Each structure stands twice: as structure tokens, then as C-alpha cells.
Amino acid sequence: MDLYERIYDIVRSIPAGSVTTYGHIAAAVGTRGGARLVGWALNAVALSDRLDIPCHRVVNRLGELSGRMHFETPFVMRERLEAENVTFVGETVDMSRHLWVPPMPD
């Protein structure tokens, strides 16, 4: 399976009301340190309008919405998360409540 497809499968599995990080996804596909690669894969999704992949559930390691500029407006990412009852502390996701870590590869 293509690496981007493996990334998309993980993003599809993030439960509603939860978020994960670019780094956690990179580790789950076996590319530690590949957080930037995960970002590129998700940017490709935004460009192709594949709505079946909930990219809004992927944040940076601090809980910041670093991908927000790749949505229709800079506010859409937060609005989608809030619609799923994700809470924020200031401008960052409350990671202690909403972080989901994908399973690591065998």
C-alpha cells in the first residue's frame, strides 16, 4: 500500500471528538521524524477535496491548528473540531482530553 494511503487510513480512523499529531501518524506508519511528510500528504488531500479524510483532526504536537490555512477559511478547522465537542485552551486543543494515539506498527 502507498505511504500516503496508509496515512489516510490512520486519519480516517481518528475518532470524532479526538485529534492526533503529525508526529504520531508518522510513527504509526514507521517514519519517525516524518511529520512533515504527513503534512504534505494531508495538503494533497485538501487540494483534491477528498472529504472522506477528516484532516481537521490532525494538529501539531502542541495542539495548535497548524493546518488551518489549508481549509476553506482559517476558521473551518476549529469550527469542525468544536462541532465534535473538542475543547480548546486558548488557541490550542486541550490535548489532555482529546489526544488519540494511533497504534504503532508491529
| pLDDT at residue 105 greater than cutoff 90 | no
Note the pLDDT tens digit of each residue in 18-57.
999 999 999 999 987 799 999 999 988 865 556 789 999 9
| pLDDT at residue 4 greater than cutoff 60 | yes
Q: What pLDDT was estimated at residue 73?
A: 87
Note the pLDDT tens digit of each residue in 57-100.
999 999 999 988 888 888 999 999 999 999 999 999 999 999 99
Q: What pLDDT was estimated at residue 15?
A: 97
Catalytic residue list contains 33? no
Residue 88's H or E segment, with its range, is strand 88-89
Direct distance between the N- and C-terminal alpha carbons of the chain, in angstroms, rounded to an integer: 16
- In CATH, the architecture of 3-98 is Orthogonal Bundle (1.10)
Q: Which of 41, 55, 65, 93 is catalytic?
A: 55
